[in-house]
């Protein structure tokens, strides 16, 4: 994958998919700047420590980033065993705030890739809710909307991945038409990462057993990273507004 000369920002760079994508992007010629709560244990071209749950922390991190950014890969996330408020902040509101803050630094031909999940596949059932949340302006407005429309703990992970897919789809075409910046999402199935156990706990033994029969195995994180790299590259310059399943065919079994 050719990312030669591109400056790429990646959240969640210290483990799992984020770490494998950061390695692949550097090998493909990119200058990679990582964002994470934890200190990196891999080679990067720059690193900014940030708590993506806090608006002020995101703003401070943005001030430390380069003036030109060619691609942004939003890979950081927390599992559904985390409190609803934290999940809303990191998996949707903080991600959205970061994208909106960095868009002015992205030239025509830039790319944003958001990591969603196969668990977001039921977004059409709640489309109007997700459109309403997507329409809120800013981090605080999003929190106020969620206070008025609370999300249950048992469904919060799926809910905010659905919301992320809807926001990506609805914003992608205006962004592409006005700025020439592409935005897509990638929807992995289960992945061997440090939080895989949290997903098993979240979904329960019955759901896990049922889904296990639909696939060969969970993915390795380095099987997800190339799809993100492709969508960041010029090879995908005419792909925008796509939610790409990278799940070993799991999504196809729901049809």
> Active site residue: 47, 92, 157, 160, which one?
157
Q: Which tens digit of pLDDT belongs to each residue from 178-222?
A: 999 999 999 999 888 776 665 566 656 666 667 777 888 889 999
CATH number for 162: 3.40.50.720
Q: Which tens digit of pLDDT belongs to each residue from 157-166?
A: 999 999 999 9
**pLDDT in the model for residue 215:** 83
**pLDDT in the model for residue 200:** 63
Which residues have CB under 8 Å from 79's CB, separation 6+?
157, 195, 198, 199, 202
Residue 91 placed within a domain = yes
**pLDDT in the model for residue 75:** 98
**pLDDT in the model for residue 115:** 98
**pLDDT in the model for residue 210:** 74
Supply the range of the domain harboring residue 21.
Answer: 7-189+220-242
Long-range pairs, 61-66, Cβ under 8 A, ≥24: 61/35, 61/98, 62/98, 62/101, 62/102, 65/9, 65/33, 65/102, 65/105, 66/7, 66/33, 66/105
Residue 195 placed within a domain = no
Residue 199 placed within a domain = no
Q: Which tens digit of pLDDT belongs to each residue from 118-159?
A: 999 999 999 999 999 999 999 999 999 999 999 999 999 999
Provide mean pLDDT across the span 217-233: 95
**pLDDT in the model for residue 211:** 72
Residue 197 placed within a domain = no
Burial 59-86 (b: 16+ CB within 10 A, else e): eebbeebeeebbbbbbbbbbbbbbebee
- The Cα–Cα gap between 65 and 232 comes to 18
Residue 112 placed within a domain = yes
Residue 255 has pLDDT above 90, yes or no: no
**pLDDT in the model for residue 127:** 98
Which residues have CB under 8 Å from 228's CB, separation 6+?
17, 21, 73, 75, 113, 115, 186
Q: Which tens digit of pLDDT belongs to each residue from 49-77?
A: 999 999 999 999 999 999 999 999 999 99
Q: Is 254 a catalytic residue?
A: no
CA distances from 11 to 68, 93, 113, 208, 212 (A): 17, 14, 11, 28, 29
Average pLDDT, the chain: 94
Domain count, the chain: 1
**pLDDT in the model for residue 203:** 59
């Amino acid at each position: 994958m050719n990312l030669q000369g591109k400056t790429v920002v990646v959240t969640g760079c210290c483990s799992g998919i984020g770490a494998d994508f950061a390695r692949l992007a550097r090998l493909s010629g990119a200058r990679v700047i990582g964002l994470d709560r934890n200190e990196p244990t891999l080679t990067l071209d720059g690193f900014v420590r940030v708590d993506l749950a806090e608006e002020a922390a995101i703003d401070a991190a943005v001030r430390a980033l380069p003036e030109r950014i060619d691609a942004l890969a939003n890979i950081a996330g927390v599992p559904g065993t985390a409190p609803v408020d934290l999940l809303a902040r990191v998996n949707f509101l903080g991600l959205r705030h970061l994208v909106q803050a960095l868009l002015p630094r992205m030239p025509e031909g830039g790319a944003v890739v958001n990591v969603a999940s196969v668990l977001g596949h039921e977004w059409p059932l709640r489309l109007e809710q997700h459109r309403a949340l997507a329409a809120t302006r800013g981090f605080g407005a999003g929190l106020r909307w969620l206070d008025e429309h609370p999300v249950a703990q048992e469904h919060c992970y799926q809910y905010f991945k659905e919301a992320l897919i809807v926001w990506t789809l609805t914003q992608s075409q205006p962004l592409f038409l006005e700025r020439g910046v592409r935005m897509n999402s990638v929807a992995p199935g289960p992945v061997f990462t440090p939080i895989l156990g949290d997903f098993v706990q979240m979904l329960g033994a019955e759901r896990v057993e049922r889904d296990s029969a639909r696939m060969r195995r969970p993915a390795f994180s380095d099987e997800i990273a190339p799809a993100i790299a492709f969508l960041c590259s010029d090879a995908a310059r005419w792909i925008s507004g796509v939610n790409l399943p990278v799940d070993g065919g799991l999504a196809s079994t729901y049809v």
